[in-house]
Amino acid sequence: MAIIKPFLLGGIPVPDLSLFNDVAPSVFTDAVLHARAELPRESCGLIVRIDGARRYWPCRNVSATPAAHFAIDPVDQVAAERVGTVEAIVHSHVLSAPEASEADRLSCNANGLPWLIVSADGRHGWLEPVPGAPVPPLVGRAFYYGLSDCLTLLRDYYALELGIALPDFDRGAPDWWRRGENRFVENIQAAGFVEATGRRQPHDVLLMQVLGSNVPNHCAIWIGDGRILHQVENRLSGYAVFGGALEKATARVCRHQSFIG
C-alpha cells in the first residue's frame, strides 16, 4: 500500500491527487470528517462519480464489531448505485494507522475497487486491488471471517488440489448459528455435495458443531491417515489429528458428486 504524502486543507491533511487525479479535495475532507463523527466506530462510505464529478457518499457501518471492522449497509450502497457509479471504497481505522491490514488487502482484491483508508487525525492512503493475486498457501493462513475462514479454505483446496470450483455463499453474521440459521446444511448440497456413509475418503468434507452450536458451523477436509485440514478462529490454518473433541464434534460427512459412482 502506498501511503501518500499529505498537505493541509482547512486543518485536514489531503493527499497528493496523482493516484486519483480528478478527486476533489472535498472528498478527502468529507471522509475524514465522517471518520471523526463516527468515533469510536469505524466509518465507511463510497467514492461515487455523479454527473462527472467524484463525491464522498457516507454509508452506515452495519458490522457486528464496528470498532474494529466495517460492513457497508447494502441499502446505502444501492442508493449510491442509483445516482452514480461507485469507483472506490472508503473506511476509517480507529485503533491503528490508515495502513492496509491483511483483511483489507483480501477484501480489496475480492471486490476489485481501489480503497481509501482514513483516520480521524487526517492521515490516509490508497490501497489498489491486485488483479490475479495468487491464492495463498493452504497452510499457515490467518483467520478473517468471511475472507479467510474454514469455507474459504475448503473452496481454495478444491480449486487448487482438485480443479473443482465450489460456489461461495453468504455467511451472514459471525454468530449466525446462534440465530436459528443452518447455513452449511442449507448450502452444501448446492455446492455439489451429498451426505456420505461408510468409510471416509480423501477430500470428504466434515461438518462440525463447535462452540456449543446445535447445527454444523465449521467444516474441515478429510486428508486421510487420520488427519484433517481446517481453519479455526485465532489460529493459522493447518493439519490436525482427527480424534477426541474433533471427532465428537463431527455431525456429518459429505462427499462431492465427482467422487461418487
Given 34, 69, 124, 230, the catalytic residue: 230
**Could you count the other beta carbons within 10 Å of the beta carbon of residue 70?**
25
Which amino acid is located at 116 in the chain? L
- From first CA to last CA, the distance across the chain in angstroms is 49
Given 218, 219, 254, 256, the catalytic residue: 218
Minimum mean pLDDT range among 10-14, 92-96, 228-232:
10-14
Given 150, 203, 254, 256, the catalytic residue: 150
Three cell numbers at 222? 478429510
100 band by pLDDT with thresholds 50, 70 and 90:
confident
Task: Based on the residue annotation, tell me whether 91 is a catalytic residue of this protein.
Answer: no
**Could you count the other beta carbons within 10 Å of the beta carbon of residue 160?**
12
Task: Based on the residue annotation, tell me whether 59 is a catalytic residue of this protein.
Answer: no
Statement: 150-259 belongs to CATH 3.90.1720.10: yes
Q: Where are the alpha helices (DSSP H) in 51-182?
A: 74-83, 102-111, 150-162
Per-residue pLDDT at 41:
96
Query: Which positions ≥6 away from 249 have C-beta within 8 Å?
Result: 208, 209, 210, 218
Asked if residue 13 has pLDDT above 90, the reply is: no
- Render pLDDT for 77-90 as a digit per residue (tens, 0 to 9): 999 999 999 999 99
Q: Where are the domains of the chain?
A: 8-127, 150-259
Q: What angle do CA 176, 180, 184 make, to 5 degrees?
A: 60
Query: Which overall architecture, per CATH, does domain 8-127 show?
Result: 3-Layer(aba) Sandwich (3.40)
Asked if residue 12 has pLDDT above 60, the reply is: no
Task: Based on the residue annotation, tell me whether 203 is a catalytic residue of this protein.
Answer: no
Cα(5)–Cα(36) distance, rounded to whole angstroms? 20
- Render pLDDT for 187-213 as a digit per residue (tens, 0 to 9): 998 899 999 988 999 999 999 999 999
Q: 157 near 138, Cβ under 8 Å?
A: yes
**Could you count the other beta carbons within 10 Å of the beta carbon of residue 106?**
19
Cα(57)–Cα(89) distance, rounded to whole angstroms? 10
Three cell numbers at 123? 492521515
2 band by pLDDT with thresholds 50, 70 and 90:
very low
